[in-house]
Amino acid sequence: MREVIMVKYGEIALKGLNKGTFEDILIKNIKRRLRHLGKFEYMRRQSTVYIEPVSHDADLDEVIEKLKTIFGIGAIQRCAVYPKDFEIIKEESVKYLETALQFARTFKVEAKRSDKTFPLKTPDIQMELGGAILEAYPHLSVDVHNPEVTVMCEIRDKGAYVSAERIIGAGGMPVGSSGKALLLLSGGIDSPVAGYMMAKRGLIVDAIHFVSPPYTSDRALMKVETLCEKLTAYCGDVRFFCVPFTEIQEALRDNCPQEYFTVIMRRLMIRIANHFCKENEYGALVTGESVGQVASQTLRAIQCTDAVAEFPVFRPVVGMDKKEITEIARHIDTFETSILPYEDCCTVFTPKHPKTRPDIADIEKAEAMYDFTDLINKAIRDTEIKLFRVEGNE
């Protein structure tokens, strides 16, 4: 029996003339992710990619697990392929559907006929196939509104496809179809989620992180590296910039008024990020800020940090509350890592009473009390770059 996996496009299906470009990127991404799982043949037709294993040892369950993390995919269906002969379809699919149907109570058949030369019309296919199934599994009953199992039968150009399981894909746009962005990754719950969300919109997401040893520990860095690794499951390869930040923070502590520490620190981070954006052609910055969460995430504070950004700053979780963000963090498996209790550089020298409504003129004045240029350049020079690769692409 031949089995294929049908991958149906998400948003790309709605694209116009440039649809082909998006398809190319999606298929390239799929191929990269599946490469270590075996040899596959790919065919695209009617807004669908057909993935057929060439080697017999390919584990299709594992393939489906991987596909579920690839953006740009609307739905995934594992199906049996038959010649377009309805007698064969009936006979074979009743056997094929055994695992799906033996413990179900209700079902329905949904048919599609894009090949209009097929002798049976859609309602006829539904009725005939449904009848055959009922005969083979008499414990079942038909429920067209809320079936436990929906059997799909599609008569397409190349053959008939029967399946009982339709899996919702990750949605969004294929990673790489919208450009590149640099994520400010702290180690908290929010920033990995922000990275995930922008990758979902088709961005290639790389990450920048600031370390302040001995104020921060190696464990804190290990934690962020683990987060990067976890992000690769959705984002693809992630380049990781690790910026030594100790001297800058010490200079900040020694030279600027305490209540402005946090905002000035964030401005310095953005300045450094600006540099890497220009050097590596990132078109935007991404942060995990959510309005009102902490003192640096008030409107005024955000205005102050954005004033030094030379690129658009995307904040995909800006309007979400902690519970919603946490839900996504659990979904992408970053939550347990994010809550490890190691201090990151953002909480070093946190003022007792930070200004929640900083005035940009005051901030600029406070920041001008020390010339950070040399330290910024040094931090940029000493930045370490690491590449985290998608599983199977080592």
Choices 39-47, 207-215, 232-240, 364-372 (CB under 8 A): range interacting with another protein: 207-215
Shortest Cβ 350–another protein spacing (Å): 12
For residue 199, which of 90, 111, 286 has the smallest C-alpha distance?
286
Stretch that binds another protein, among 1-9, 83-91, 308-316, 340-348 (CB under 8 A): 340-348
Cβ 339 to another protein shortest distance, Å: 10
The yes or no reply on residue 253 touching another protein (CB under 8 A) is yes
Q: Does 124 bind another protein (CB under 8 A)?
A: no
- Give the one residue of 299, 340, 360, 387 binding another protein; rule: CB under 8 A: 340
Q: How many CA atoms lie within 13 A of 256 on its CB side?
A: 29
Both structure tokens of 46: 């009617």
CB of 32 to another protein, least distance (A): 37
Is residue 343 a contact point for another protein (CB under 8 A)? yes
Q: CA 44 to CA 142: how far, in whole Å?
A: 33
232 vs 205: CA distance, rounded Å:
9
Interface residue with another protein, options 106, 217, 226, 326 (CB under 8 A): 217
With binding defined as CB under 8 A, does residue 342 bind another protein? yes
Instruction: Return the structure tokens found at 151.
Output: 């059997």
Are the CB atoms for 198 and 317 separated by under 8 Å?
no
Interface with another protein, residue 213, by CB under 8 A: yes
Contact stretch for another protein (CB under 8 A) within 10-18, 29-37, 158-166, 210-218: 210-218
Q: How far is the CB of 247 from another protein (least distance, A)?
A: 12
- Told to check if 370 binds another protein by CB under 8 A, we report no
| Residue with Cβ nearer another protein (137 or 342) | 342
Q: How far is the CB of 216 from another protein (least distance, A)?
A: 8
To another protein, the closest distance from the beta carbon of 352 in angstroms equals 13
Go through 130-166 and write b for each residue having 16 or more CB atoms within 10 A of its CB, e for each that does not.
bebbeebbeebeeeeeebebbbbbbbbeebbbbbbbb
Q: Is 83 in the site for another protein (CB under 8 A)?
A: no
Q: How far is the CB of 334 from another protein (least distance, A)?
A: 18
Picking from 162, 104, 111, the residue whose alpha carbon sits closest to that of residue 137 is: 104
Residue 373 CB contacts under 8 Å (≥ 6 apart), including other chains: none
Of 302, 240, 231, whose CA–CA distance to 270 is shortest? 302
Q: Using the rule CB under 8 A, which residue among 55, 214, 352, 361 binds another protein?
A: 214
- Alpha carbon separation from 260 to 79, 204, 252, 349, 353 (Å, rounded): 60, 33, 10, 11, 9
In sequence order, the 6+-apart residues with CB closer than 8 A to the CB of 377 are: none
Asked if 215 is part of the footprint of another protein (rule: CB under 8 A), the reply reads yes
Least CB distance from residue 187 to another protein, whole Å?
13
Taking the C-alpha atoms of residue 141 and residue 28, their distance in angstroms, rounded to an integer, is 43
Size of the site for another protein (CB under 8 A): 11
Using the minimum distance from each CB to another protein, give the nearer residue, 123 or 214. 214
CB 254 → another protein: shortest distance, Å? Answer: 8
Residue 276 Rama label (left phi>0; alpha psi -120 to 50; beta)? alpha
Tell how strand 180-184 and strand 238-244 pair up.
Answer: unpaired
Q: Is 199 or 346 the residue whose CB approaches another protein more closely?
A: 346
Instruction: Kindly list the residues in this chain that would bind another protein in the complex (CB under 8 A).
Output: 213-217, 219, 253, 340-343
